[in-house]
Amino acid sequence: MKKILLFIAALIIVGVLAQQFGWVHFLTDVQSLRQVLEDFGWWGYLIFILLSILVAVFLLPGQFLAIVGGLVYGGFLGGALTVIGASIGATISFILGKYIARDYVLKKFGNSETFKKIEKGVKENGVSFLIFTRLVPVFPYAIQSYAYAMTPMTVKKFSLISFLTMLPASFIYAFMASEIATKGVSIKLLFEFTIAGILLALLAYLPKKFSHKINRLTKEYKKND
């Protein structure tokens, strides 16, 4: 109970501070965020990673962070920093939901359709469902970590899969943002966007494809055994 109360208090404090000092607006203002990170130099790397962690843990609107990373640091470094921060933030959220604030999370979100669908998806498809929802944002991304914390999935498995499945989108968004900033919008860039979208769609299809094969092989093994 003490842990739950501390967690609730932390959420309330951060939420109030975010509104009071304009942090929510700041995180969604790409130009301002870019300027601040540039002014900090090397320290900006740590600040960017910390922002990514805070966004994940406190469910703040950080959908532009990968874009900011690409604008400020370029496609490769911006994508790498985004993956590092988002992965750490997702893992912390998962641990908080599973071991510290489980009762609060269940009370707050347990009856939501997102939680119910994720629970059902993991039960029926296992890890492949996590891979699919990480590659394709069919559910609000920030809340997924807390939702998966309610399933039997381990921290190690969740962290590793989250990291690997964050790589494509993070680098694609950062790269595209960098390209727009340096070269502007062009036919070539639109073509690259199309190719990137097709690749992400194919990546999202793979877990389902492999899941069917694994289930079939498992059934055959049990039958022969």
Of 21-25, 33-37, 92-96, 162-166, least confident by mean pLDDT is: 21-25
Three-class secondary structure of residue 63 per DSSP: coil
Residue 92 has pLDDT above 80, yes or no: yes
30 or 8, greater pLDDT: 30
Residue whose entry in the numeric block shows the structure tokens 């069919």 = 138
CB 154 within 8 A of CB 50: no
Sign of CA dihedral 70, 73, 74, 76: negative
Secondary structure E strands in the chain: none
pTM above 0.75, yes or no: no
* Region 141-145 average pLDDT: 80
